[in-house]
Chains A and B, each alone.
Chain A
Amino acid sequence: MTPEHARNVTVDLDLHGVVGIRLVDPSPADVTVVQRQLALVERPLARDPDVVVRFVDDLLISSLRFVEYQKSGFTDDGFYVLRSGKRAVRVRIAFEGIGDRCEIVCQRGVRAVPFLMSIVIMTALARGCVPLQASAFAYEGTGVLVTGWATGGKTEALLAFSARGARYIGDEWILLTGDGRRMYGLGGLIPLHDWHLRQLPAVRSRVAASRRMLFGGGRGIDYVHGVLSRGPLGRSSPVRMLGAALPALRRQLNVQMDPADVFGSGSGPFEGVPQKVFLMIGHDLRSYRVDATEPGDVADRMVAANLYAQQLLFDSYIAHRFAFPKLRSKLLERAESLQLGILQRALAGKDAFVVRHPHPCDLGKLFDTMAPHCAAPRASSVPDAVAGPPAAVREMNFGIELHV
């Protein structure tokens, strides 16, 4: 690391004018790390930043007290995150400032700034935008927002439409403005699994040969395990251990693709007008079906899914409360009701559907199921009154009668 690269350097990133991020004294590698995390390019801010990430060579911590040993701790100066994934890190995060001006101090050379995406999207919430676990695309001029639980089939819907001329808006996190008129993509790469690629030959040809071989190896292990477990050694512990490790292995077997490689020339700008809302639910049946639902119902469910996706941030916030009981974050404590309010307003009046599909699913059939509902937006999508409790939806609950 050369000493001259990083003194009084600032790099600004702007998330669609909603959240401003300033990096102070980063090394070029640090800038790359943050840009990859947020999928944003440098753009000078004409306003004060909302999130400041300060990079230092050595973050000295004196008289550290642990909250959770070697995971988090605090000093008189602030709260420290000491582990990110399986990696030991030293990062000071001012949780109480999230939504106002949050300062993060970390050592140069981190592989990822912990909680950066979470902090950015919570800041967006404070600015009246609601983050959604979703993917989004524009298909034949219609803006489509696809939400669901973590592995509900959002990416699958995106891929299904990608092969049929849709324009990419975003995957993973989508930012929805409070008036429901705009949606912005957040985050860069699309995680593709082996079974996705097999259905997308055009994309598959762009995957490096080495990755394709890895996928082949993964299928090979699957096959070997299948044969072994049916054989006389099927109950032996090595075979069972292999079987237990396979789901984790399969999860590892994905390739992070640039949207441009998946969508060809049809990608960017990463924003659009949300007109149709789909809630994806995978089921253990072979059928594909779509049902109309109330947007308010989608809002209720997605607030829970959002909070679930943010659980690590909230875990750390609880540790922060242990460290500094008097430094509360009003934003994090009100996050749920804030999200629900904005989301209900933003989604009101939109056409909302529940899609049920098998997993893994046939992308062509998924497209055939969803496409008829993506056409011809309503004449005007001026929000009506906020939808009340969707009684009809409750009774149906996607075909589930819950015994109360």
Chain B
Amino acid sequence: MLDSQPFADQAGAALPAPAPPGEHRETVADAGAPTVQHTTVDYDIHGVVGVRLVDPAPADTRFVEGFVGRLRQPLGRQPDIVVRFVDRISVRGIRWLHVGQSGFGRRGLYVRCEGARQGWTCMRLDRAGARCEILSEIGLGFVPHLDPLIRLAALRRGFIPLHASAFVFAGVGVIAAGWPHSGKSSSLLAFAERGASYVGDDLVLLSGDGRRVLGLPRPLELSGRQVDGLAVARERRGRARLVLDRAARQLERLSTRGLLLHPGDSPLRQVLGRASSALQRRLGAQLPLEALFGDRVALEARPRTVFLMMSHAADGACVEPGELSVSVERLAASVQRDIRGLEYLYLASRFAFPWLRNELIENAGPIAAGLLRTALADKEIRVVRHSYPPALTDLYDAMRPYCGAPDGPEMSR
């Protein structure tokens, strides 16, 4: 009655590669397989989320390290996310979702990924956030959905995974949260140049009691524009690149300003806009934290002020008070947005395995809102609106009065 063809995965059959320095070996019992020695690499995100790689290739550790930063350290506990690398994952007999790209089978969902090379990964989502295991072909240099899985695991531990930058300025912990391109990182850079300490960028974890904000020690991802606005970053870049950079900015101006007096969707403008954003991506650069912050890398702070960042179609920057209940809902929507990619996969999982449910994925928004209500209760909440792309000095001038600078206005508690 049933298909005779098995799904022949090779998990655990591969011999472990020799361990490079800094990695440790330990014996991990494989369910159903004979005990084999595995190389494991652990990452501990401030005791909140633990990630374990089993038998990774250098390309794989590079990818994860590029994501979580230099947090390699043996976990004294069960990891929340385990990525197990094997030589090959066979998808013979797979049931397709998107032909050639994804499907389902004996071990769960199979997704084809591309990093350094193309290959298959396999996972189940019913335990995503708790103890989630991903099986991956070795050396892809890419772990699918690592970002939302870390966010989900943090949420389960009572931490709100915010799309935000965090820093300490004049002794005050500051969180600047918002959607992509809302000026979070720009505000971090604006304050960095004036002596702020780094806590985190892009992904920061806010504890449910609101007392701790935690960040990842990974290099800053700067857009071409941001490089241009930062002396430190400019110095690290050759003259030729700078000229290209300027050209890119001119292109952007042409495509966004009314110079051409064309309606918003004229074909010429669209072409310019696409060319400009492609060039901007190309010109982006990674900047090591030390280059900008020196030894001012804190990774943890007690937050007092929370800025909700958004851009507007007007000049300059302005700051308005933010209402608690509105801000809670906005940040909760933002948390949900960040795990959307995983939600899509979860819908595929529900199609394939309707009985495997994940309460955490289904309720991420309300859970985050519940935590945020407490965490933000005693915070100064401000909405920052600014033109896009934001001028760093504008952002600094607008936000600084609320960041505990001595000459700022008196803040009501």
From A88, A300, A359, contact of B265 by CB (8 A)? A88
In the bound complex, what is the Cα–Cα distance between A186 and B333 (angstroms)?
Answer: 32
Q: Does B96 contact A (CB under 8 A)?
A: yes
Q: Does B2 contact A (CB under 8 A)?
A: yes
In the bound complex, what is the Cα–Cα distance between A157 and B198 (angstroms)?
Answer: 58
9-residue interface stretch from B43-51, B165-173, B209-217, B307-315: B307-315
Residues A282 and B96 in contact in the complex (CB < 8 Å), given A65-B310, A88-B269: yes
Most A CB contacts (10 A, CB to CB) among B98, B265, B326, B340 go to B265
Render A134-161 as a binary contact track against B, CB cut-off 8 A, 1 for contact: 0000000000000001111000000000
Render A232-252 as a binary contact track against B, CB cut-off 8 A, 1 for contact: 000000000000000100000
9-residue interface stretch from A1-9, A201-209, A314-322: A314-322
Main secondary structure of the interface of B (DSSP, over half): mixed
From A65, A149, A389, contact of B311 by CB (8 A)? A65
Render A1-34 as a binary contact track against B, CB cut-off 8 A, 1 for contact: 0000000000000000000000000000000000
CB distance from A79 to the nearest CB of B (A): 13
Contacts of B5 in A (CB 8 A): 285
Whether the Cβ atoms of A69 and B181 lie closer than 8 Å is yes
Contacts of B356 in A (CB 8 A): 402
CB distance from A211 to the nearest CB of B (A): 22
Render B69-97 as a binary contact track against A, CB cut-off 8 A, 1 for contact: 00000000000000000000001111111
Q: Does B400 contact A (CB under 8 A)?
A: no
In the bound complex, what is the Cα–Cα distance between A397 and B95 (angstroms)?
Answer: 11
Render B326-346 as a binary contact track against A, CB cut-off 8 A, 1 for contact: 101110011011001000100
Chain B residue at smallest Cβ distance from A82: B264
Whether the Cβ atoms of A66 and B313 lie closer than 8 Å is yes
Contacts of A308 in B (CB 8 A): 344, 347-348, 351
Residues A321 and B333 in contact in the complex (CB < 8 Å), given A66-B388, A359-B96, A399-B2: yes
Whether the Cβ atoms of B312 and A284 lie closer than 8 Å is no
Whether the Cβ atoms of B310 and A301 lie closer than 8 Å is no
Whether the Cβ atoms of A318 and B348 lie closer than 8 Å is no
CB distance from B203 to the nearest CB of A (A): 18
Whether the Cβ atoms of A284 and B92 lie closer than 8 Å is yes
Whether the Cβ atoms of A325 and B347 lie closer than 8 Å is no
In the bound complex, what is the Cα–Cα distance between A287 and B7 (angstroms)?
Answer: 16
In the bound complex, what is the Cα–Cα distance between A318 and B332 (angstroms)?
Answer: 10
CB distance from A227 to the nearest CB of B (A): 21
Whether the Cβ atoms of B93 and A285 lie closer than 8 Å is yes
Chain B residue at smallest Cβ distance from A73: B313
From A65, A88, A318, contact of B264 by CB (8 A)? A88
Whether the Cβ atoms of A359 and B310 lie closer than 8 Å is no
CB distance from B44 to the nearest CB of A (A): 28
Q: Does B401 contact A (CB under 8 A)?
A: no
Contacts of B108 in A (CB 8 A): 402
Whether the Cβ atoms of B314 and A63 lie closer than 8 Å is yes
Residues A281 and B265 in contact in the complex (CB < 8 Å), given A64-B312, A66-B313: no
Contacts of A325 in B (CB 8 A): 325-326, 328-330, 333
In the bound complex, what is the Cα–Cα distance between A325 and B372 (angstroms)?
Answer: 14
CB distance from B194 to the nearest CB of A (A): 25
Contacts of A356 in B (CB 8 A): 95
Render B243-268 as a binary contact track against A, CB cut-off 8 A, 1 for contact: 00000000000000000000011000
Chain A residue at smallest Cβ distance from B277: A70
Q: Does A167 contact B (CB under 8 A)?
A: no
In the bound complex, what is the Cα–Cα distance between A311 and B348 (angstroms)?
Answer: 12
Residues A394 and B355 in contact in the complex (CB < 8 Å), given A65-B311, A325-B333: yes
Whether the Cβ atoms of A86 and B274 lie closer than 8 Å is yes
CB distance from B17 to the nearest CB of A (A): 24
Q: Does A61 contact B (CB under 8 A)?
A: yes
Render B4-42 as a binary contact track against A, CB cut-off 8 A, 1 for contact: 010100000000000000000000000100000000000
From B93, B100, B106, B313, contact of A63 by CB (8 A)? B313
Q: Does B182 contact A (CB under 8 A)?
A: yes
In the bound complex, what is the Cα–Cα distance between A308 and B349 (angstroms)?
Answer: 11
Most B CB contacts (10 A, CB to CB) among A307, A318, A319, A401 go to A318
Contacts of B92 in A (CB 8 A): 284
Q: Does B105 contact A (CB under 8 A)?
A: yes
Interface residues on A, range: 35 or more
Contacts of B326 in A (CB 8 A): 325-326
CB distance from A91 to the nearest CB of B (A): 11
Whether the Cβ atoms of A311 and B106 lie closer than 8 Å is no
CB distance from B9 to the nearest CB of A (A): 11
CB distance from A181 to the nearest CB of B (A): 25
From A69, A282, A396, contact of B95 by CB (8 A)? A282
Whether the Cβ atoms of B312 and A66 lie closer than 8 Å is yes
In the bound complex, what is the Cα–Cα distance between A281 and B99 (angstroms)?
Answer: 10
* Residues of B in contact, count (CB < 8 Å): 61
Contacts of B353 in A (CB 8 A): 397, 402
Whether the Cβ atoms of A398 and B348 lie closer than 8 Å is no
Whether the Cβ atoms of A151 and B98 lie closer than 8 Å is yes
Whether the Cβ atoms of B354 and A301 lie closer than 8 Å is yes
Contacts of B311 in A (CB 8 A): 65-66, 69
Contacts of B312 in A (CB 8 A): 63-66
CB distance from B143 to the nearest CB of A (A): 20
Which of A262-299 touch B at CB < 8 Å?
281-285, 287, 297
Render A388-404 as a binary contact track against B, CB cut-off 8 A, 1 for contact: 01000010111111110
From A285, A297, A394, A400, contact of B106 by CB (8 A)? A400
Contacts of B98 in A (CB 8 A): 149-151
In the bound complex, what is the Cα–Cα distance between A304 and B361 (angstroms)?
Answer: 14
CB distance from A241 to the nearest CB of B (A): 13
Q: Does A258 contact B (CB under 8 A)?
A: no
Contacts of B181 in A (CB 8 A): 66, 68-69
Q: Does A192 contact B (CB under 8 A)?
A: no
Contacts of A166 in B (CB 8 A): none
Chain A residue at smallest Cβ distance from B181: A69
Whether the Cβ atoms of A86 and B182 lie closer than 8 Å is no
Q: Does A196 contact B (CB under 8 A)?
A: no
Q: Does A228 contact B (CB under 8 A)?
A: no
CB distance from A248 to the nearest CB of B (A): 12
Contacts of A61 in B (CB 8 A): 313
16 more A-B contacts (CB under 8 A) besides A151-B97, A301-B354, A325-B329? A68-B179, A150-B97, A150-B98, A282-B96, A284-B93, A300-B350, A302-B351, A304-B349, A304-B350, A304-B354, A318-B337, A321-B329, A322-B330, A326-B329, A359-B96, A398-B95
Chain A residues packing against B (C-beta within 8 Å): 61, 63-69, 73, 86-90, 149-152, 247, 281-285, 287, 297, 300-305, 307-308, 311, 315, 318-319, 321-322, 325-326, 356, 359, 389, 394, 396-403
10 pairs of A and B residues whose beta carbons are closest in the complex: A325-B329, A304-B350, A300-B354, A69-B181, A399-B2, A64-B313, A321-B333, A282-B96, A399-B3, A308-B347
Can you list 30 A-B contacts with CB-CB less than 8 angstroms, sorted by A residue number? A63-B312, A63-B314, A66-B311, A66-B312, A68-B179, A73-B313, A86-B270, A86-B274, A87-B270, A88-B269, A89-B264, A89-B265, A149-B96, A150-B98, A152-B96, A282-B95, A282-B96, A284-B94, A285-B5, A304-B349, A304-B351, A305-B351, A311-B347, A318-B340, A321-B333, A325-B326, A325-B328, A394-B355, A400-B104, A402-B106
